[in-house]
């Protein structure tokens, strides 16, 4: 079997745990302010801090690293990537709404209110925002709400 065939088999099995990405990070120039924003936003999903590296990074997750905010290792200022975006899957449409509202209330900016996307609004339910440093995020729910 080729790697491509194996990948397709894993992708076709909905009961399998996703293997990628391991975790994602965004850069920050103000770790303290960023942590206030992400503590509030990720609490919507029941996610908390799993690792803190003082004055360097904070990682969040359920049981392991899933997302982090970091000061760039090279010591240069953090900058927003053009075209980059991180997507968080929500268990329900109401969590999409709650996460979007929480992000805005915590200092983020709106990039697209929560609505169904796609042709005739039949696609996934999505909301877009930027964190206070300009990193772009998507919160989405595809299909029915999780039980």
Contact 121, 137 (CB under 8 A): no
Contact 106, 37 (CB under 8 A): yes
Contact 13, 58 (CB under 8 A): no
The most confident of 14-23, 50-59, 118-127, by mean pLDDT: 50-59
* Structure confidence at residue 73 (pLDDT): 86
pLDDT tens digit sequence for 103-112? 999 999 999 9
Which residues have C-beta within 8 Å of that of residue 42, sequence separation ≥ 6? 48, 60, 67
Token look-up 């299909």 returns: 143
Give the DSSP letter of residue 99.
H
Residue 39 CB neighbour total at 10 angstroms? 15
pTM: 0.78
pLDDT tens digit sequence for 26-84? 999 999 999 999 999 999 999 999 999 999 999 999 988 899 999 998 899 999 887 88
* Structure confidence at residue 147 (pLDDT): 77
């Amino acid at each position: 079997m080729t790697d491509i065939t194996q990948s397709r088999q894993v992708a076709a099995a909905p009961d399998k745990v996703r293997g990628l990405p391991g975790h994602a990070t965004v850069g920050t120039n103000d770790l303290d302010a960023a942590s206030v924003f992400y503590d509030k936003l990720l609490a919507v999903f029941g996610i908390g801090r799993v690792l803190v590296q003082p004055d360097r990074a904070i990682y969040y997750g359920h049981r392991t690293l899933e997302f982090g905010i970091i000061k760039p290792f090279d010591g240069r200022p953090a900058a927003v990537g053009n075209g980059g975006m991180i997507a968080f899957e929500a268990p329900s449409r109401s969590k999409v709404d709650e996460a979007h509202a929480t992000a805005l209330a915590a200092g983020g900016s709106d990039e697209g209110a929560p609505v169904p996307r796609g042709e005739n609004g039949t696609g996934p339910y999505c909301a877009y925002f930027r964190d206070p440093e300009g990193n772009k995020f998507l919160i989405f729910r595809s299909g029915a709400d999780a039980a």
